[in-house]
Structure 1
Amino acid sequence: MTAVTGAAGAVAYERCRTYADLVDRVRAGGLGPDPATQRIAVAFTTRQAVRHDGRGTGYRNEVLSLRLAEAVGSCAVEPGSLPDSALDDCVGADVARLLEHPLLPMRVAALDAYLMHVTPHSPESGARPVPLPTGSSLEKSRVRAKAVAELIDLPPGATVLVIGVVNSLLEALRACGLQYVPCDLKGGVTEWGEPVVTDALAAADRCDALLVSGMTLGNGTFEPLRRHAQQHDKQLVMFAQTGSAVLPRFLGHGVSAVCAEPYPFFWLDGGAGVVHRYRGPYDNSCQGGHI
């Protein structure tokens, strides 16, 4: 564990070397109240289908969210993959019990809710808010994508492995003069007909940095990617609706920056919103790109 100093000079929280280390610390009550005393009051899923105006393809999302006091923790899942009993398993359950649940997305959402409760996104914990304007889902998506792309410190012409294909992020990377390799477990092609690879670690060897969705927490692929970035001294930038309170804990231990977006997400309504950026040892070099 590593102590982190916030913007005002006070120690905000401790960062962890591995995901298992973080979970063990939470279980032991090392980061806040005993998780056995913290009960989930509300559990819900959010299902979305979208096709932005002017785009040729669409997609679907499903997110499991758990409410702990004032905090909401979330984990994206493959649409339709959660059993009908999932919400009943969560409501009234304590966090300690949910951290032992057989379904990984349940464990991730519970961990996210707990950490959001004990350490919400704030300047004291190193977060810097970036406002999202009112507007269409595509307009808000592009502003969020710019906020994410600015966290990558690479010269034009470098190549980024993008795990979790989001078309607005690919646009933002092109605006920064960066090349990319799109990667997603589902494969297929991007909006512009570019092939989407499915083996992230195989593609990582030929890329200069990794831009990774928090969904990798929920499917168990985050730790191998974190280790790759750490072992090869590559930037690993996370964009996180899943695990937005979890991923900042790994800054300096493989993760170089995080764009955290807790519930409610930008695509839920047309009103103003906010994402929270955390930076590790790298500064961004893509300033003023137009998307």
Structure 2
Amino acid sequence: MVRTVAELFDAVRAGAYGPDPAHERISLAFTTTQAVRHEGRARGYRNEVLSLRLDAALGSCAVEPGALPADALDDCVGATVADLLSHPLLPVRTAALDAYLAHVRPHTPGNGARPYPLAAGSSLSRSRARARAVVDLLPADSATPGEHLPVLVIGVVNSLLEQLRSRGRAYLPCDLKGGATEWGEPVLTDTAAQLERCGAVLASGMTLGNGTFQGLLDHAAETGKPLVMFAQTGSAVLPRFLGAGVSAVSAEPYPFFWLDGGPGIIHRYGGRS
């Protein structure tokens, strides 16, 4: 079992998970940019995601809109996974790791994944459906170490906050961008300062791509607090940390729920059945 992100990179480079990454080449690299404001919501947001294709698998890492250099895609196309695991940009390294692990450990029941269907519908209805699937992975409040302490939500998604509110769960919204939630609550920006105040952590896979995930993993491993990840970034990476601090993962490989109004699926690991 790996206990750090660095250990996982080293294990993949060494071929511990399957084929030598020096012999696996990325055939396609692309970015997806989205802007959305759901009906009835006062605020909108933007997403940008880098995705890399390895055979039939896709690996992804979200980035701040406009932050990815224009030549990053050229760096990726035709490169080996081994090359990209050492790329100077963390989002490229993360997407390459995700693509490789999605290739060798696809989201199947044999690899521990439980499929969760998302019905067709509007972007808002599908966002709410995903939020229910994610929040269901948190233990009941009475089963959380530090009973009745709030859930630290890292990567503010209003549908997740709405779902926590509907269940009477207190939360601390945290995001590097700051701002305010749909309900006017200030969004905190210093994650580390909030960890001691919470009883559980619900975090975006984007923490992999910005380098803050390891601190969350260490805290959860040391304290026993539940750490539930909702992952479009690193959907195949984060299940590798189950039992090492991560308690559950909602894995959502590309294409994401917001790209299509038809029926879809996410894959859940750990947590409540």
**TM-score relative to the length of structure 2:** 0.96
Alignment of 1:172-211 (within 5 A): 172-211=163-202
Percent identity, aligned pairs only, is: 69
Distance 1:283 1:99 in 2: 33
2:141 counterpart SS class: coil
2:242 corresponds to 1:248: no
CA deviation digits over 1:92-129, x for unaligned, max 9?
Answer: 00000000000000000000000000010010111101
C-alpha displacement of 1:83? 0.6
Matched with 2:30 is 44
CA deviation digits over 1:227-266, x for unaligned, max 9?
Answer: 0111111000000000000000000001000000000000
1:75 counterpart SS class: strand
Distance 2:162 2:182 in 1: 10
Q: Which amino acid aligns with 1:35?
A: P
Matched with 2:68 is 82
Distance 1:207 1:159 in 2: 5
1:110 counterpart SS class: helix
Aligned length in residues: 268
Q: Which amino acid aligns with 1:222?
A: F
**TM-score relative to the length of structure 1:** 0.91
Q: Which amino acid aligns with 2:180?
A: V
Gaps of 5+ in 1: 2-15, 285-291
Alignment of 1:5-24 (within 5 A): 16-24=2-10
Correspondence for 1:212 among 203, 222, 230: 203
Q: Which amino acid aligns with 2:64?
A: E
CA deviation digits over 1:167-205, x for unaligned, max 9?
Answer: 000011112221000000011100110010001111110
1:198 counterpart SS class: coil
C-alpha displacement of 1:143? 0.3
C-alpha displacement of 1:132? 0.5
Gaps of 5+ in 2: 143-147
Per mean C-alpha deviation after superposition, the further-off stretch among 213-222 and 153-162 is 153-162
C-alpha displacement of 1:18? 1.2
Distance 2:200 2:104 in 1: 31
RMSD of aligned Cα (Å): 1.0
Distance 1:118 1:163 in 2: 29
C-alpha displacement of 1:158? 3.9
Correspondence for 1:225 among 212, 216, 220: 216
Matched with 2:272 is 283
Matched with 2:229 is 238
2:47 corresponds to 1:56: no
